[in-house]
Structures are given as C-alpha cells and as structure tokens.
Amino acid sequence: MRHTSETPAVTASNESERTRRTAANGGDPTLDFERVPYDDYVHASTLHRLQRTLSDDPGEMSFLMISQVMELYFGLVHFELGVAQERLRADDVWESLLPLRRAALHLEGLNAGWQTLRWMTPGDFNRFRDLLGEGSGFQSAMYRKLEFRLGLKTASLIRPFRNDPAVHGDLENALAAPSLWDDVIRVLARHGHDVPGSVLSRDLAEEHTPDPAVESAWVRIYDDPGPGNHLRMLGEALTEVAEQFGDWRYRHLQAVQRSMGARVGTGGSSGLAWLRRSMERVVFPELFSARTVMN
C-alpha cells in the first residue's frame, strides 16, 4: 500500500490473526483502537468535513454533495480506463476487458447520481444559484481529463486552469497523451488490420477524425463471432463504456432542463444549447458507424 507522511499506514492483518481476534471477542467486533482503522483507510472524517454550503437552504447540501460524489466517480472511471490502456499497450486485450467492465459499472453509479437531484425545480435551484457565482461543473479538471482519455479533445477547454500551473500542466499532459481510442486503434494495427500511417502518427492533442479503414477493421472483427475473438469482446466492452458515458451526458442535459430550462449557465455558456452541441461528439466513433454495414 502506498501512503504519504500525511496518511498513516494501515496495519496489515492475515486470516489467522482475524480468527484469533474473533475467538477472543466471542464473535463480537473489536471496539478498542488507538486510531480507528476504517478512518485511517477511507478518511471518512475528512470527506464529511468537505460539505461547506454557501446558504442555509437545505437543498444546497444535496446539490453540493452529489457534485462531490460525481467528482470521485470521474476520478475512478478515469483510473479504470488508464488501467485498460496499460493492458492494451502491453497487447493484452483479454486483461483490458475487466477494467473496462468496471469502468462501465462505475459509470452506472455515476449516472444514478442524477436521480437524486430529480426533486430540484427552478425555484429550488434559484434559492442558492446566485451564490455559486461563475462556478460550473464545466470547470471540473477531472471531468476534462476523463473526456480527454475518452478521446474528446479540445485544447481551449484547459484555459480556465491557466492560473493554476500544476492543474494546467496536468491537463496539458492529458491532452497530449494517447486517448483510450488511440491505444485501441494501435492494437488493431498490431493485429494485422490496415490502419493508415496518418491515423497512427497524427497529433494526439487533436480530436481523432473518423477513418474508413478503422471502421472497416471493426466490420471484419465483428464478422467473427467465435469465443476466441478478443477484439470483438473489446469492441463490446468499449460500446458499454461509450453508452454509459452518453447516458451521463444526456442525464446531465435532463437535469439542466428540469432545474433551469434554457437559461444561460453559471459558467458563461448557453447552458442547454451548449450541452446539446457537446452531445454530438461521439466517443469511439467508428465502433458505432461500422454497425451500419455489419452483416
């Protein structure tokens, strides 16, 4: 386990020690600790000190806490997709499937967060909205990193962080790094599919332009339904991730419609209209366009 000087190490245990403690406690849980091990690991006491509302309106707590939960999910999905990329770069397609499966399930959890805000009417939101100033989810650095990892790259979107060198530098690196889709395309090329050099050597800081050769590769992959076709399994795992991420974007749009209609966003965007335009950018585009011509 990795830990910093600010994070006390959790004392490891094993099965025989747990069995001895259970016998000594007569089956009851241990109650006496110098430090609570759960809090040392989860940092629950720290998490529960982070809800600092700006108003006395009780509904703001829901809005703030769900926003924080979503931030944690952004980081978790980003992490899982990074693990999948590591496996793909090692050309281990089979081992990439589990982190992709986990990412899709985490996105389901993320999507459920919108359900808990369905109570919010424009009147409910407006009671504390002005206090948010120009603050907007659009300014989430972790969400931006997640989009970049999924291949949705727009260099201008890191400008809000230019006065924070550490965060800005991290986002610059994420922008310039291969996306998950870039790594998938490289796997296709290594497995004998004819991917043009211009696709493999493009500027990775630019959003990928759909290519007919990549689409054709997926058509051929799906033409073999055999149980040993790991690339087909990869395609289905990626499809699940893309669909769950698309669901998140749509549910975001629904939440905005419910709570503020077509008003301008707190971050200066056109709100609903901007979200609709952003939804037109497809994650893993050839994986979906290829389905039009699959048998």
Residues 39 and 154 in one domain: no
In a domain, 186, yes or no: yes
CATH number of the structural domain spanning residue 81: 1.20.58.480
* Residue 273: per-residue pLDDT: 80
Residues 10 and 46 in one domain: yes
**Does the pLDDT at position 83 exceed 60?**
yes
Q: pLDDT tens across 247-269, in order?
A: 999 998 888 888 888 776 665 66
Q: pLDDT tens across 224-247, in order?
A: 988 999 999 999 999 999 999 999
The boundaries of the domain holding residue 16 are: 1-25+35-50
Residues 19 and 151 in one domain: no
Residue type, 140: S
* Residue 266: per-residue pLDDT: 62
Residues 138 and 7 in one domain: no
Number of domains within the chain = 2
Residues 159 and 285 in one domain: yes
Residues 15 and 81 in one domain: no
How far, in Å, CA of 276 to CA of 260, rounded? 15
In a domain, 9, yes or no: yes
Residues 257 and 231 in one domain: yes
Cβ atoms within 10 Å, residue 124? 19
Which residue from 199, 177, 227, 224 is spatially nearest to 286, judged by alpha carbons?
199
In a domain, 191, yes or no: yes
Write down the pTM of the prediction. Answer: 0.91
Is 129 known to sit in a ligand binding site?
Answer: yes
In a domain, 30, yes or no: no
In a domain, 189, yes or no: yes
Residues 206 and 161 in one domain: yes
Residues 142 and 282 in one domain: yes
Confidence of residue 1 (pLDDT cuts 50, 70, 90): very low
**Does the pLDDT at position 41 exceed 50?**
yes
In a domain, 161, yes or no: yes
Is 11 known to sit in a ligand binding site?
Answer: no
Residues 193 and 278 in one domain: yes
Is 230 known to sit in a ligand binding site?
Answer: no
In a domain, 13, yes or no: yes
In a domain, 139, yes or no: yes
Residues 66 and 166 in one domain: yes
Q: pLDDT tens across 95-154, in order?
A: 999 999 999 999 999 999 999 999 999 999 999 999 998 888 778 999 999 999 999 999
Residues 143 and 160 in one domain: yes
